[in-house]
Amino acid sequence: MANASKGPRGDLRVAVAGLGPIGTRVVKALDQGIDGMVLAAVSARNPEKHRSWLAKLKRAPAIMPIEALSEVADIVIECAPGNLLRSIVAPFVGSGKTAIVLSAGALLEHEDLVELARQNGGQIIVPTGAHLVIVADTVAAASVGRLVGALVRITSWLLCFLGC
């Protein structure tokens, strides 16, 4: 399977947790290319179900358990059921990385993840169409260097992609 290291230009490594309808579309869009980012890894409840189409991507990602994603990616895009939120987000924000959370309602049951992110320099981003400017401003205010541009690009892309 593919390697999960940084891309040739030092791109941000992205993991997608959950390969339902939204996660699958996110993976395919990342494979088509988003400047400054490379699809590094994915996680799915049933990896065998997805193995064949993932292998056909331009750069097939590593297929890994949720718990291992933070070891090979800088950003995770959570596209999984809400009951998996903690296991996806905590390793990323606990190590100062970024989690883009699509299961926003599940955060209400795990408010401590916000404090975990704050204590470790991590970020939780919840993209919503009605708040694109606020999300972009929050990302810009909370980020430094090339991470700012990359997060604004991926957040903007998600908003357009999801039609929010």
Query: Has residue 134 been placed in a domain?
Result: no
Query: Has residue 155 been placed in a domain?
Result: no
Confidence (pLDDT) at 84: 96
Query: Has residue 91 been placed in a domain?
Result: yes
CB 42, CB 19: distance < 8 Å:
yes
Q: What is the pLDDT of residues 42-66, one digit of tens each?
A: 999 999 999 999 999 999 999 999 9
Query: Has residue 19 been placed in a domain?
Result: yes
Q: CA separation (Å) from 114 to 23, 101, 103, 125?
A: 23, 12, 14, 10
Number of domains observed in the structure of the chain: 1
- CATH number of the domain residue 95 falls in: 3.40.50.720
Q: Could you tell me the pTM of the whole model?
A: 0.76
Confidence (pLDDT) at 146: 41
Q: 22 or 5: whose pLDDT is higher? A: 22
Report the distance separating Cα 13 and Cα 29, nearest Å: 14
Confidence (pLDDT) at 11: 87
Give the domain extent around 97. 12-128
Query: Has residue 5 been placed in a domain?
Result: no
Query: Has residue 2 been placed in a domain?
Result: no
Query: Has residue 161 been placed in a domain?
Result: no
Query: Has residue 90 been placed in a domain?
Result: yes
